[in-house]
Structure 1
């Protein structure tokens, strides 16, 4: 191996390809062309004397040699960044930091609440939120680019060297804009959705497998119009201007349901329920920044649980409202007579 030929760009390129598992996406992230990325990887393979990538129809796979090299490259690049920060005497070099990968159900609900709590309890903590598919985030977690991942548990094949802590379970929901024709039906069936565009998670993701299994089990024919998306902003924009129906994680939409921006279609999707929690590297203690974020997440969940316990059931709330309406006029009349 000729170390004299090894350049920083070789390691940066390999790490990005390992994260994206796709040469085109890696090139876009690096602001390079795809041929330039291929050439850089080929140079690195020549330097180390090993094949690093296996080309597939839908992307690339890392060889065992590449997996080892990537792990060490990530450590080396991170050490170089930290060293540069210290050398330049930047004040933020000593600040607490945490990088967290968040799937849409966490990014729209629990994580913002936890970060808001952190801003009060630990205002100097710098938080970096990374989005992506489950597979992408797990790769970055394993390589040390992020400290933990929040969302549904990954497939068993992707959990090697990783540990999952369950926080709660949630189903996927079918949601649409207020006033959607299906929302007005008393007991709609899945067949009622066939006339409208159906928005689902992108192919290859864990929750897309859940959606496909649910539709197959229910005997629903493939919809005429299918939209694949994971971006919440796009999904909301499409629902606002069309009759599309979104198959979404509960955590990603419950705030919009509570605010009246979306409505849940009365179709039973309870069989899509799955575990949601935190994934971390097995056998390694989280850093101080990650530890504080984890404490904030648990605190938010504890407060919400206490609020649910203290809140009366919906039926009791309704009876109380009715009682107040009945007692209101008579109490006013009694007060007038007493006066």
Structure 2
């Protein structure tokens, strides 16, 4: 399995040879000599630990490994956008885009600031675009730079998927699935799904990145996350993302044991005005559902004394006060079952759709498809 971004020319050589079936035509297509193309393929075969082509008198016949890798390689090359771009330039540019300065990027990569500066300048020349600009002491990406960073991220994600598919075919470790998880998904849905998947696919690693939708949508678009789990958003705000509903969540009023409302036979909207509230930030879906429950945008809303998206923090604040919150009972299931907190139905039913968000052009590997299928199956059991 390859951990570093490989030589772009090597990847292009494999894709061209699969497409043309001839070293001569492939070399012409990627502007390499025939010996250089043959050497590039041999180096990539060594890195992957497998043969990509059967050398025959009539040409180069791709093996199954090459057929798995070639479509990913073609997509990656298209996203990179120029045959003159090198892996070193991409790594330097992405490090700079994340660090915000050459000095910080140098510390993260171990390269000198001068080397990074030279690589980013060479990348700008190769693409014919201004990618960065100075703003005070920091470096910021230009609009074209931001677009390039996103396309490079997608290219890297495609190559990682291609290498993972080859590795799985060879019976080796099958790469990694990176999941962006919003709070609700981490309570029961995702842990149950991971446990089942890990039992079926012990050779595939899983990484869970926690955060809110606003924190995770960018990495999803950049290819750093494979898919995102949580409350679905309005479709018109997600032109480049695709959503699939999984189950319906019904948030409840949550309060401490012994709260004045805990013994009430019924709870009305007027009762909810008498207590402080702890809720997530203003533009989250749950906050919108709360406004609807309380009478809508123009209603006289109770004061939200604390804005917080951390379930752990909310749990402790609720236990120590008469504050109320609106949360899925799954997120506080242990505390509710232990009698530390109480969940009550809200005066107006609240429902939100939970699901999976992916890039519209995402092409999952077989393990990624299996993980999605398991998530949808577990979601049906939960609902």
TM-score band by shorter chain is 0.5 to 0.7
Inter-CA distance 215–9: structure 2 relative to 1 (3 Å threshold): farther
CA distance in 1: counterparts of 2:288 and 2:92, whole angstroms? 36
Select 1:289's aligned residue among 367, 374, 377: 367
Residues 45 and 52 in structure 1, CA contact (< 8 A), matched pair in contact too: no
For structure 2, list consecutive stretches of 5 or more residues without a partner in the other structure. 1-84, 109-115, 165-171
Q: Alpha-carbon deviation of 1:227?
A: 1.2
* Partner of residue 326, structure 2: 247
* Partner of residue 117, structure 1: 196
CA distance in 2: counterparts of 1:117 and 1:278, whole angstroms? 18
Greater mean deviation of Cα atoms: 4-13 or 118-127: 4-13
Q: Alpha-carbon deviation of 1:119?
A: 2.8
* Partner of residue 208, structure 1: 287
Q: Alpha-carbon deviation of 1:255?
A: 5.2
CA distance in 2: counterparts of 1:194 and 1:266, whole angstroms? 16
CA distance in 2: counterparts of 1:45 and 1:205, whole angstroms? 40
Instruction: Specify which structure has the higher proportion of helix.
Output: 1
| SS of equivalent residue, structure 1 residue 207 | helix
**1:31-56 deviation line (CA, Å, top 9, x unaligned):** 99xxxxxxx99x97998464769x9x
Residues 168 and 275 in structure 1, CA contact (< 8 A), matched pair in contact too: yes
Task: Give me the CA root mean square deviation.
Answer: 4.3
> Where does 1:200-239 land on structure 2 (aligned, <5 Å)?
200-217=279-296, 219-223=299-303, 226-239=305-318
Greater mean deviation of Cα atoms: 170-179 or 209-218: 209-218
Select 2:230's aligned residue among 129, 143, 151: 151
* Partner of residue 325, structure 1: none
| SS of equivalent residue, structure 1 residue 283 | coil
Select 2:266's aligned residue among 187, 211, 217: 187
**1:57-84 deviation line (CA, Å, top 9, x unaligned):** xxxx98642442122332466689999x
For structure 1, list consecutive stretches of 5 or more residues without a partner in the other structure. 18-22, 33-39, 56-60, 86-92, 306-339
Residues 276 and 305 in structure 2, CA contact (< 8 A), matched pair in contact too: yes
Residues 247 and 379 in structure 2, CA contact (< 8 A), matched pair in contact too: no
* Partner of residue 7, structure 2: none
| SS of equivalent residue, structure 1 residue 221 | coil
CA distance in 2: counterparts of 1:69 and 1:103, whole angstroms? 27
Inter-CA distance 157–251: structure 2 relative to 1 (3 Å threshold): farther
Aligned pairs, number:
276
CA distance in 2: counterparts of 1:191 and 1:263, whole angstroms? 19
| SS of equivalent residue, structure 1 residue 184 | coil
Inter-CA distance 31–273: structure 2 relative to 1 (3 Å threshold): farther
Residues 98 and 128 in structure 1, CA contact (< 8 A), matched pair in contact too: yes
Select 2:144's aligned residue among 59, 65, 75: 65
CA distance in 2: counterparts of 1:265 and 1:62, whole angstroms? 49
**TM-score between the two structures when normalised by the length of structure 1:** 0.65
Residues 256 and 318 in structure 2, CA contact (< 8 A), matched pair in contact too: yes
Greater mean deviation of Cα atoms: 113-122 or 69-78: 69-78
**1:183-204 deviation line (CA, Å, top 9, x unaligned):** 1222233333344331111233
**TM-score between the two structures when normalised by the length of structure 2:** 0.59
Higher RCO (CA 8 Å, separation ≥ 6 residues): 1
